Structure formats: C-alpha cells, structure tokens
Amino acid sequence: MSGKQYLKNQLAVILINLLGMLALALFLIASGNNIQTVLFILVVWLLVLASCLLFFFFTRKKALDRLLNMAEQLEERYLLPEIMQEPERADEQVFYQIMKMAEKSMLEQIGEVQRERKEYKEYIEQWIHEVKTPITAMKLICENNRCSFTRELMAELENINRFTEQALYYARSEHTEKDDSVREIRLSDVVYGAIADSKYLLRQNNVAITVDDMEYSIYSDDKWVRFILDQIISNVIKYRTGHPILHLFAVKENERVVLSVEDNGIGIPQSDLPRIFEKGFTGQNGRTIHSSTGIGLYLCKRLCDKLGIGIAARSEGKGTIISLSFHINDFVTGVQG
C-alpha cells in the first residue's frame, strides 16, 4: 500500500476535516477572536489530523505487509485464511468471510479433481494390465510358429508393448517412491535385459550392437532403469540412418558410474539440445519423423530426477550419445562389504 493510495482512500475524511476547520474558523472570527488565535487552533488541528493519518497509515501498512509476506511464503495461497487472524473491523470481516468461502470452494474443487485423476489413473493402469494379456498371448503364438511373418509381427508387438509400458510408467512417474525398489544391481544385467526387450525390433532394423565390458554395480531400481534404456533404444531405431550402430559402454568418473548409449543416427541439432527433455518437444527431427511424440525423453528425465540419476545428451552433427550417471554409494558398499 502506497501513501498516495492511502491519501486517496482517506480523501473523504480529509475533506470533512477541512470543512470543519473552515466552519470553526468562521465561528471564532464571528465571536470576536483575533486572527492569531484562530490560526493557532487551525494549525493544532492540522497537526493532530496529520499525526492521526500517519499513525493509521503505518499501522495498516505494517499489517498488510505482514499479510503479503504470509501469502508469499505459502505454496497453496488459497489457504491464507487458515493462518491469518480474524480481523476486528466490520468491513474487513466481510472480506475475511469471502476469503473463507473462496477457500472452501477451492478445496472442494481440488478434492473433486484429485478424485477424478485417481479414478482415471486407476482405469489406465487396469486397462494396461488387461491389454498385456493378449500381447503376451500373441508373443507366445509367434514364438511357437516361427517364420518371417511372425518375426515381423514380434517386432510390432514389442512396439505395442513399449507404448503400453510408457503409458503405465507415465501414470506412475508422479509417485515413483511407491513403486521403486532400490538395491544393488549389476549394470551389465540391466543393459542386456533392455536389449532383450527390443531384440526383434533391433533385428528387424539390422541394428549392429556392441556392448563393452561393464563390471560395475549400481544402486537403483532395475525395472525403472531398464524402462529408461528401452526408451533410449527406441529413439535409436526411430532416428536411424543407413546401417544403424548401437554402442553401449560405461566408465567410472569420480563418485559416479556413467553409462552411455551411442548411436550413428541423424543426430540432434545444437539448437534443439537444451530442450529435448521438455514435454512434447520434438524439434527439427520431429517435423520429418511424424511418429515423434516428445514424451519418451521427457519421461526419462522425469524418472531420472525421481531416482537421483543424472541424464545428459551430446550430439555433434551426426550421432547422439545419451549418458546416465549413477551415484556410487560408498557407505552402503562399505557396509555390505
């Protein structure tokens, strides 16, 4: 609240006082008082009025500033009426009651939205679990009747399974702590497991794979890390060029183990690199490859943040390297050793 605004709000009070001063001055002069006495009384009146205005201004400003600070510190600002004191002035009590009604309405709407989100999330999870049954059945049929047609069908089934897994993990990514199981895992087991998940798709696209020795153990969730690798591998296939090559290797850097997935694909333009982990961002490559959704890498980034895994991308003209950085927990290693 500024002084100019306060004076504007107190304009009626000031005008009434000025009229009172004028009436008193006329009365005193008509009663035979000298001009010095009248001026003295008017000056005293002005000083008392100015003092009162200043006192109430600073008092109100202090109270309002405190209220603003309380609101800024709240994450849910609609809960402000819960922590502020009920005002004593009648006009302020009206606004306080309006805020309480607005808070109640907001809480009811939030509760309704949360309930709908929970029901929708449960439906999506149930649907995905149900659709996995026919996918698994089709895989078994193809495995038992191997031919060129069923191999192509298996590759498409892997795609379908990846999309369903993506939807499931997207629904669960908001609360990974309820579904994760952090333990010591061998990095090579996770890598080979992710490659096995896409073996038919990799074979169909003639992807040459090389995996360096990676005798490292990390502490993370096997299922989530495997899903992240599945998304990265699917991008390698999606943005392939010529004879696609996939190279996976790991190195130890200070207190971390860095797993890198390198390909010789079309690469990522330098202007797009800072935004590839944003939701829905497809960049220049996405305009030519219409199957791009901008969800895969966004979901990888979101899951990595939840699990404490660093993720970064490098690309120089052609080819891309996606790196996952796992923190080495020396304390746990020492206890288990």
In this predicted structure, what is the pLDDT of residue 337? 40
Mean pLDDT of 138-149: 85
User: Where is pLDDT greater, at 71 or 173?
Assistant: 71
State the residue for tokens 């206890």.
335
Residue range 193-209: average pLDDT?
A: 87
State the pLDDT confidence band at 60, using cuts at 50, 70 and 90.
Answer: confident
What is the rounded average pLDDT of the residues 96-117?
87
User: Could you tell me the end-to-end alpha-carbon distance of the chain, in angstroms, rounded to an integer?
Assistant: 64
Confidence at 325, pLDDT banded by 50, 70, 90: very high
Q: Which of 29-43, 151-165, 276-290 has the lowest mean pLDDT?
A: 276-290
Per-residue confidence (pLDDT) for residue 335, from 0 to 100: 38
Q: Kindly indicate the confidence band of residue 176, based on its pLDDT and cuts at 50, 70 and 90.
A: low
Q: What does DSSP assign to residue 325?
A: E
- What whole-number distance in Å separates Cα of residue 68 and Cα of residue 87? 15
Contact 191, 211 (CB under 8 A): yes
Token pair of 321 as six digits: 């390297």
Cα 188 off chain centre by: 31
Query: Interhelix angle for 222-238 vs 187-197, to 10°?
Result: 50
pLDDT value of position 334: 43
Between 5 and 193, the more confident residue is 193
Domains of the chain with bracketed CATH: 3-104 (no CATH), 184-336 (3.30.565.10)
pLDDT band at 262 (very low <50, low <70, confident <90, very high): very high
Mean pLDDT score of the chain, rounded to an integer? 83
- For 10-20, how does the pLDDT look when each residue is reduced to its tens digit (9 = 90+)? 888 889 988 98
Residue that has been written with the tokens 């169909």 in this structure: 204
Report the C-alpha gap between 135 and 154 in whole angstroms. 10
CA distance 77 to 36: 57
157 vs 155: CA distance, rounded Å: 5
